[in-house]
Chains A and B, each alone.
Chain A
Amino acid sequence: MVNVRKMTDTEYLYGHKACPGCGLGTIGRLTLKILGKRTIVTLPASCMSTVTTQYPQMNYTVPSLTMAFAGTGAVLTGMSAGLKAQGITDVHVLGFAGDGGTADIGLQALSGAVERGDDFIYICYDNEAYMNTGVQRSSLTPIGANTTNSPSGTASYGEKKPKKNLFEIMIAHRIPYAATASSAYPYDFMNKIEKLKGIKGPRFVHIMCPCPTGWGFASDLTVAMGKLAVETGLWYLAEYENGKVKMNQTPKTLKPVEEYLKGQRRFRHLTEENIKEIRENRNREWEEIKQKWLT
């Protein structure tokens, strides 16, 4: 377990230009504090690279590489192989990629790297749309969300498809370690990083990262919004290792989805009927979770 009192005071990521209220900087900062100085970070085109590696203001004090959008998994493979070939065994190679960079354009490279069993850590921070390019939908945008290219209108309620299930895609690869997390639950997240640090092979964390700018809520509500996602059952915290899934947080009763949806501009247009559909989707998914992982 992580003891924050004993955490290093050294900062490996600071001075970034993320929007006020964004959890991204915190995720990066905490991850690097746990993994330490001998970590190499790679970032595809994303908010994370845009806000941390703009020449000449470099925000990492560990080595970093900004990479092509589609290539995070493959560059992690190359770094890992290059270190191995030179007999270097005490270095973490870490990828930070967004939801589009992971579940859409980066999925092939990620799948290849996981299938090969290469030694790396991959963190998908999920703000549920292409935020860096101005809030366009990705395959991890939730159903009903209004984005700039899946707008709600007289003939549309916004995004029409539920989120792709990345966690289960990773499980299907029989990956050594996969987890979901949330920037609103930093202890849970840090403990997962601490745990995966000691595991060899591909390790994957899918962390929800609420986005004040893209979702439309005040910048002091990021943590509240992240917690509501879990409390309403629209997101869950889980781990997969040794072939088994463990739910880290199982709310006894799920809060009404409205509490989460009504606090965000991107869902403001939803009708009672739309909300009912989201509620039913959630209920169905939880029934499945109970049958699969909670019996």
Chain B
Amino acid sequence: MIEKENGSQRDFLNGDEAVAYGAKLCRPHVIPVYPITPQTIVVERISEFIANGHMGGEYIHVESEHSAMCAAMGAALVGARAFTATSSQGLAYMHEMLHYVSGSRFPIVMMNANRTLAAPWNIFGDQRDSLAQRDTGWIQVYVENAQEALDMIIQAYAIAENDAVYTPVMVNLDGYVNTHTYELVTIPAQSEVDEFLPPFKSKNAIDFEAPRSFCISASTEWNMEFRYQQHEAMNRAVAVIAEVDRKFGEKFGRSYGGLLEEYRGEDAEAVLVGMGSVTGTARIVVDRLRDRGLKVGLVKLRFYRPFPAEYFKALGRRVKAIGIIDRDLSFGYEGAVASDIKAALLGSGAGPKVINYIAGIAGRDITKENLEEMYRKLFNRVQGREEPELQFVGMRW
């Protein structure tokens, strides 16, 4: 580990370890976690931090992911900061609790290692696990590398605990490609993080002098109003996400663009949209194609909820073709991300040509060649040639 002058450190970490460091720096009071591949390194490192006295908090060996989220909710109820991490089947197992937590407006932060869902059983990455949680009321962010993973755990608490938001945040890392790949990562100084993320005094916690009932039953006469307030909080999160990213940049010298990041999109004719690790490879491909004079760009979609619909509406007016990479599939229709972007593009007038690429399912590599091919097909559409609107990339047949 290389010590730097301002108290931050540089180390060679994988994504899971970066998340563990991020969580440690946020000083959660309670960490209820259940191990699942490829998230396990997170729970191992945190337990080591605590066992060696480098981290405080109550580590709870829960007996299931459902219980992990129940315990996190109990902790939030008494005003404690809670952190947990899961993946795939575990996320599916706690599905019910995701609704309970967001509906009760508890600002819990969770890391999810994106992994496909059984059956057929497989431990490698795709994003169907978290995309299937779209309507659970959680803010969802997808990161590109280990540094962004660490930074987003810190940002996630700042977003979730903001007075205008009080909504839980899920930080997604692609299984293996992010979780198990080692990179040089800057670990910020604890004192700097403490300044950025002060101790949390929850307004949504118990008070014996003013007792309240939480997570109550709300009848037909009242229920819709509670949902509307959740929706409004999610909408307010848009500005908060941008503000937190800006402040984080000022403090730590790294910022990520808020809801999304556009790469070389100025004057682009064809853009690809992706989430997570694929965007790292896609940058290289964009550079390569730009060198050849092709007007291509990349949109790294970071937040899936709240969704940057206005951005895509505007994008649709200035590009000729959009390719949407989905590491998931809504069987019988198309990729989940594509559906949302296409809906937003309805406000773009004539609109660009769109191809939805289903790729990277269950850990299948998305290569530079795959990405070049995706751009080439977009130009085919621009030039009036036929291309199917839904394509499976790198499939055996």
Q: CB distance B75 to A66 under 8 Å?
A: no
Interface-side segment among B211-219, B236-244, B349-357, B372-380: B211-219
Interface-side segment among B55-63, B166-174, B270-278, B336-344: B55-63
Segment 61-86 of B: residues with Cβ below 8 Å from A? 61-64, 66-68, 70-80, 82
Q: CB distance A71 to B79 under 8 Å?
A: no
B285 at the interface (CB under 8 A from A): no
User: What total of A-B pairs shows CB separation below 8 Å?
Assistant: 162
From A58, A81, A108, B63 is in contact (CB under 8 Å) with A108
Q: For the complex, would chain B's binding face be called helix, strand, loop or mixed by DSSP majority? A: mixed
Minimum CB–CB distance from A90 to chain B (whole Å) comes to 10
Closest to B72 in A: A78
Sorted nearest first, the 3 A-B pairs with minimum C-beta distance are A78-B74, A78-B71, A82-B80
Q: CB distance A63 to B218 under 8 Å?
A: no
Q: CB distance A63 to B212 under 8 Å?
A: yes
Query: Do A65 and B74 form a contact, CB below 8 Å, given A58-B216, A112-B67?
Result: yes
A64 at the interface (CB under 8 A from B): yes
Closest to B210 in A: A63
| Distance in angstroms between the alpha carbons of A58 and B78 in the assembled complex | 19
Q: CB distance B77 to A40 under 8 Å?
A: yes
Query: Do A74 and B213 form a contact, CB below 8 Å, given A55-B219, A116-B60?
Result: no
Closest to A79 in B: B74
Q: Which residues of A contact B213 (CB under 8 A)?
A: 53, 58, 60, 63-66
From A66, A71, A82, A91, B214 is in contact (CB under 8 Å) with A66
| Distance in angstroms between the alpha carbons of A140 and B60 in the assembled complex | 30
| Distance in angstroms between the alpha carbons of A61 and B213 in the assembled complex | 9
Segment 62-109 of A: residues with Cβ below 8 Å from B? 62-68, 70-71, 73-86, 88, 91, 93, 108-109
| Distance in angstroms between the alpha carbons of A71 and B77 in the assembled complex | 14
Q: CB distance A78 to B219 under 8 Å?
A: no
B263 at the interface (CB under 8 A from A): no
Minimum CB–CB distance from A58 to chain B (whole Å) comes to 4
Q: Which residues of A contact B68 (CB under 8 A)?
A: 74
Q: CB distance B66 to A71 under 8 Å?
A: yes
Q: Which residues of A contact B63 (CB under 8 A)?
A: 74, 108-109, 111-112, 115
Minimum CB–CB distance from B355 to chain A (whole Å) comes to 41
Most chain A Cβ neighbours within 10 Å, of B32, B213, B215, B216: B213
